[in-house]
Amino acid sequence: MNKKALYAVLIALFLPLVCYFIVKNYSEKAVAMPRHYVLDSVNVSKRNGKMVTDSVWHRVPDFTLINQQGDTVSLKDLRNKIIIADFFFTHCPTICPGMTMNMRKLQQALSNGQRVGDRTNKDVQFISFSIDPERDSVPQLKSWADRFQIDPDQWWLLTGDKKTIYDLAINHMKVGVEDGMGVDTSFFHSDRFILIDSNRYVRGYYRGLDSASLNQLAQDLVMLTMEKDKSKKSFFAGKLQIMAVAFLLAIAGVGLFLFVFKKNKPTDADSRLEKE
């Protein structure tokens, strides 16, 4: 085998390997996903002689409340969906209308992305929890929904047990709320939109009246829709190294075959000798 042929075989052998490690390194340095919030605990264990820490993130628990259609709904109804949540009340004299309008714009932007067929985004659910459930009855929520043209299939306005709502806000989503005891100006609630992933982990807080913060929410939402479920392994999981080695061996076999074939191929001199 001449030098050119040898170089060609070497390139054929090592180029796929180099490409594999480049792709592997790039995938490991992919764009960072939205970080987790609300830490429950940190577990420390020993693996392969090294101390390893595992963060246990807090999951938003299930709830049962009533939406603006009068339907009893639960977090279980939103399996595998990403949630954007906030807290409001319909007698709010300050920030609630603006927050609701901005959430509606975000919801419309997601729906407009569905260019064909059903325009409803199936991956995201909006939820607005009323912190004044005693006055925010189903008809009151329905009136608010009609005012802002809210799609009940994609966006729930929820009322129901006050203790459940306040527990969700304070202890699980970690945002401030305060009961105004019927006095509109005495109610307090956060202006944050809360991003919750399909595993019920809080993944972000965004100011509901700030355009820059809402743009960040839109970007983080796109990243979460692309995030792989770690509980589901890909067909290629753990097989890429084996496939790379097999591919290299196949190329090496082809190179060896060409080398042997060329070595055993009769030369012109050999052909003339056979004729004589």
Boundary (domain end) residue, out of 203, 226, 249 = 226
Same domain, yes or no: 208 and 79 = yes
Whether residue 45 lies inside any domain: the answer is: no
pLDDT tens digits along 150-179 = 999 999 999 999 999 999 999 999 999 999
Percent of the chain past pLDDT 90, that is, above it, reads: 55
Distance CA 147, CA 104 (A): 11
Asked whether residue 121 is domain-assigned, the answer is: yes
What b/e string do you get for 1-18 counting C-beta neighbours within 10 Å, with b at 16 or more?
eeeeeeeebeeebeeeee
Most confident of 1-10, 40-49, 106-115, 174-183: 174-183
| CB-CB contact of 81 with 198 (8 Å) | yes
pLDDT of 130 higher than 80: yes
pLDDT (mean) for 199-207 = 97
**CB neighbours of 274 closer than 8 A, spacing ≥ 6?**
266
100, pLDDT greater than 70: yes
| Same domain as 241, residue 208 | no
Which distant-in-sequence residues (6+ apart) come within 8 Å of 169 by Cβ?
87, 129, 131, 175, 176, 177, 189, 190
Q: Which amino acid is at 190?
A: S
Number of domains the chain contains: 2
Residue 206 lies in a domain: yes
Beta bridge partner(s), residue 86: 128
Q: Is residue 165 part of a domain?
A: yes
* Residues 212, 102 share a domain: yes
Separation of alpha carbons 105 and 220, rounded Å:
16
pLDDT at 122 over 70: yes
Q: Are 221 and 149 found together in one domain?
A: yes
Q: Which domain holds residue 258?
A: 3-15+237-275
Whether residue 187 sits in one domain with residue 76: yes
Nearest alpha-carbon partner for 193 in 132, 104, 110, 118:
104
